[in-house]
A and B are shown apart, each in its own frame.
Chain A
Amino acid sequence: MDVLGRYRNLIVLVGVLFAQILGLAVQVKHTTDSQSTRLIRIWAVDSVTPLEKVLVWTQTSGRNIWHNYFYLRGVRAENRSLKAQIEQMSLERVRMSQDADQARRLQALLAFKEQFISQTEAAQVIGSSGSELSRSVYIDKGEHDGIKPDMAVITADGIVGKVLRVYRSTSQVLLIDDQTSGVGAILDKTRLQGILRGTSSGEVVLEKVMSDETVPAGEQVLTSGGDGIFPKGLLVGRVMKVAPGGELFLNIRVRPAADLSKLEEVLVVTKIDEKQAEPDQGTSVRAIDVLAERLPGVPAKTDTSAAPSNADSDGKPKPVSPPASATSGGPITAAASADTKTFPKPTKATVDPKPQPALQDTPH
């Protein structure tokens, strides 16, 4: 008994360590969460996340009040500049739709199935795991918001990770730079496929690309859709460094497009639709319609079979008038100057009198 009393602390230490090692071994063997650890995780998450939500809400509210009510310097100029950008992008959109429509026709011919992100849920990042070896974050949306495990999480810049565990009002997101994550990826130009993984030091590498391939630095890396989580074609990042790796494969380091260390708001992809590509039919938007909508000097005309509205009776194109602000003697705004500068007068090159599929756009 004396011996037991003397070594009581050591015996307890060994007992506690043994129990934990046993628990750890059981968890490693069973990859899915057992009920006991699930409960511990729920308690821990529920005790930490409410405070995190309050802090994030306070921070966001304070920032919004400052930006929306007090700090409005330069908003007018920014507004003008944005309007000019919208005008420019509207025409660019029409031009780009030519290529898109052609691609859709080809895809339809090949019975190609496309994946569309049809529904997303915006969420705020409220906390992290607090460990360098567990690169995961918590978001303020959970079961109640329709979040499920294995949903893709993205930002406007690129992919972020996937939903790992879902709780009532929060979810844990495994980031792509964690060493246990894996994303099917494809290089944009060379079309080489590989698996994107994180490392213990937080880097992101593209694996399984053969060493006899040439991969230029700076090439874009996209999702391949092969993992069944991320839809095909989402931006992952850019190739940073290429070096020969072991076992006949290249060691390709990738810089993620999304800043994973400073995440604030993310989108959870809650629904992905898959449908066969179809060539666009029916309603179409022509460049002339966009011009008519944007530039008051161009009369609107919707009949595609008729001559374009900016062509006179002889079929010759009429010049496009500058916006009202510019013609009425008022100050030429940034938008007006951008209009006149960016958009050339609609000569035959820009608006052809004959109906052309090249100027069709997808219905929205």
Chain B
Amino acid sequence: MAITYTSGEQVEVYRFSLPATILIPLTAVFIQAWLPLRFPFFSNFDLPLLVVIGFATARRSPLAGLITGGLIGIFQDALTHQPIGLYGISKTVVGFGASSLGIKLDVENAGARFLLTIFFYVMHEIVYFMIARGLVGLHMAWSWRHELVSGAANALLGVLVYMLLDHVKQRT
């Protein structure tokens, strides 16, 4: 049985099969947890975030986007030692925003996807920063340069991830 979330708008709306809906986020979180041990620079990437953006822009349903984002974020939170909800809230916001924007914009080409990913990466970091500092009381330093460079690196990887997701998404 395939899970479908459609907005009902006059745009192309895609769906993902149940195995893809479960296994892709799981694989993303697994790679995110495993790869930095072998390649420490990989901790600069946020693969689960790219999956959230990829799913949200393809499904184009704000409800589906925020639920997917929230669940993936909470799953990611559970592997850290920080309170659960930091990634959950950030990715809920990004999932909602990406799917809402996906309804209005054409996000099928690589250029648009690149810019969209930078934008949502920075948004994710801002939300995370605010909650981590304001609510949890973590000491964090904000650097626009670092965030923009990381955003660009994530966007490059994101374009590749979205190309892979294109192969598993199904037209409704």
Contacts and interface: CB of A to CB of B under 8 A. Distances in A.
| Chain B CB within 10 Å, residue with most, of A8, A12, A48 | A48
A258 to B, nearest CB: 14
Contacts of A17: 89, 92-93
Interface in B68-122: 70, 74-76, 78-89, 92-93, 96, 100
Interface stretch (A65-73, A172-180, A320-328): A172-180
B80 A52 contact: no
| Chain B CB within 10 Å, residue with most, of A21, A41, A130, A180 | A130
| Chain A CB within 10 Å, residue with most, of B67, B70, B81 | B81
A78 B87 CA distance: 50
Contacts of A25: 135
A129 to B, nearest CB: 4
A16 B66 contact: yes
| Chain B CB within 10 Å, residue with most, of A12, A20, A47, A127 | A20
Interface stretch (B137-145, B152-160, B162-170): B137-145
Given A21-B85, A40-B74, A48 B80 contact: no
B37 A48 contact: no
Contacts of A8: 63
Given A48-B30, A130-B43, A165 B92 contact: no
Contacts of B141: 200-201
B8 interface: no
Interface string A93-137: 000000000000000000000000000000001111111111011
A28 B135 contact: yes
A24 B86 contact: yes
A40 B83 CA distance: 11
A248 interface: no
Nearest to B146: A201
A262 B85 CA distance: 28
B27 to A, nearest CB: 9
B29 interface: yes
Contacts of B89: 17, 20-21, 24
A157 B139 CA distance: 29
Nearest to A199: B139
B29 A48 contact: yes
B78 A41 contact: yes
Interface string A14-41: 0011001101110110000000010011
Given A17-B89, A20-B89, A27-B83, A133 B132 contact: yes
Contact of A127 (B33, B84, B135): B33
Contacts of A13: 62, 66, 92-93, 96
B134 to A, nearest CB: 10
A24 B83 contact: yes
A25 B86 CA distance: 11
B21 interface: no
A137 B35 CA distance: 12
A160 to B, nearest CB: 13
Contact of A133 (B30, B34, B85, B138): B138
Interface of A: 8-9, 12-13, 16-17, 20-21, 23-25, 27-28, 37, 40-41, 43-45, 47-48, 51-52, 55, 125-134, 136-138, 164-165, 172, 174, 178-180, 199-201, 261-263
28 contacts: A9-B96, A16-B70, A20-B85, A23-B84, A24-B89, A37-B84, A44-B29, A47-B26, A48-B79, A51-B30, A52-B34, A125-B37, A127-B34, A127-B79, A128-B34, A128-B36, A129-B79, A130-B80, A131-B43, A133-B132, A134-B81, A134-B82, A136-B80, A164-B81, A172-B81, A174-B81, A199-B139, A200-B141
Complex A-B, nearest 4 residue pairs according to Cβ-Cβ distance, in ascending order: A44-B78, A134-B80, A24-B85, A130-B32
